[in-house]
Amino acid sequence: MSHILLKDLVKIYPNGYKAIHGIDMEIEEGEFIVLVGPSGCGKSTLLRMVAGLERITSGEVHIAGRKVNDLEPSQRDIAMVFQNYALYPHMTVYKNMAYGLKNLGTPKDEINRRVGDAAKLLELEELMQRKPKQLSGGQRQRVAMGRAIVRKPTAFLFDEPLSNLDAKLRVQMRLVIKNLQASLGTTTLYVTHDQVEAMTMADRLIVLNAGIAEQIGTPMELYDKPKTRFVAGFIGSPAMNFIDVKLSDNGSEFTIGDTVFPLDKKLDTPETEISFGFRPEHIILDESGNIPLKIELIEHLGAESVIHAHLDLKESHSKKESITLRLNGHTHEKNSNTVKAKVAPEYYHFFNRNNGERIAIKA
């Protein structure tokens, strides 16, 4: 039986706004599931519906075999870690971590043992008598996690827990949370808008777009075979490039400007006006290439270079379509240079320009 089961979950607000559109998902025990998407896509709303902090309009939430729709948050056997830590400022670290257990009537010896174990696990032992104002952001987040751990819940729910931290600390805390979850084996739902965070932490991802689950799968499934143009553009950094192209009537070739690109296998679509996609790391500079570019800006990042360019075609054939290249190491190219590039066919992606769905290859 699934540890968390979402069945046709819907959220409609009194003003008629539909925030969540019938989401179905089975989450296995011990899985680390990340809800990812842009601001306003419904990921925090979905998490709060699981937690019991947001009323469910229709559908069902099951946790460890129990339907929990009508249960209060405290009855769902979950622990939630918030973006703003939600620590009691007048309490010490120890008291913050022990507070929930004390309210449950847990014996003092058991509280001391659980808090001590969590403090050791999170390297908080030297901070137990400090108050939140005496802690760094990363330390406060570890205290919030410790407070969740001591309860030994069925599931952890994280709502953008790292968004208030600086970039270096976010990377460190990603490792802390992922290693902690792996060692505890606790089923986890984690919300973020940061797709790099999502890719590095998740066993599986749910990519949300305007309350719709566009795709559910492992990070590499979404990277290699995005089901929609939205997923393709959201997963991966820098984002996937897209060019509007003309597909031949028989689906065996497409054109960019005056250049013909033959396909090994035909595309299965009646459309001729489609989107051609490829990732920045899959386009390379090559004098024999068939994609002419004019460089606008080069970002030298040490281990890699990111080139921002646009298609260098006759005005009558194309609008000024932006293209990003991600190259290993340094590049000797300069801003305003005209270059040629190419993409290997195995890295081609095609999408319906009207509905954004991935276009399949004919069998």
pLDDT tens, residue by residue, 284-306: 999 999 999 999 999 999 999 99
Pick the CATH number of 4-231 from 2.60.120.260, 3.30.70.20, 3.40.50.300, 3.30.565.10: 3.40.50.300
pLDDT mean across residues, the chain = 92
Q: Could you report the per-residue pLDDT of 128-185, keeping only the tens digit for each?
A: 999 999 999 889 989 999 999 998 999 999 999 988 888 888 898 899 899 989 999 9
Q: Which sequence spans correspond to the domains of the chain?
A: 4-231, 239-352
pLDDT of residue 257: 82
- DSSP assignment, residue 65? T
**Residue 1's pLDDT band (cuts 50, 70, 90):** very low
Provide the b/e sequence for 52-82 (b: ≥16 CB within 10 Å): bebebeebebbbbeeebeeeebeebbbbbbe
Pairing of strands 253-256, 259-262: antiparallel
pLDDT tens-digit profile of 71-112? 999 899 999 998 888 899 999 999 999 998 998 899 999 999
Q: How much is the pLDDT for 167?
A: 86
- Give me the CATH code for the 239-352 domain, please: 2.40.50.140
Q: How many Cα atoms occupy the beta-carbon half-sphere of 68 within 13 Å? A: 25
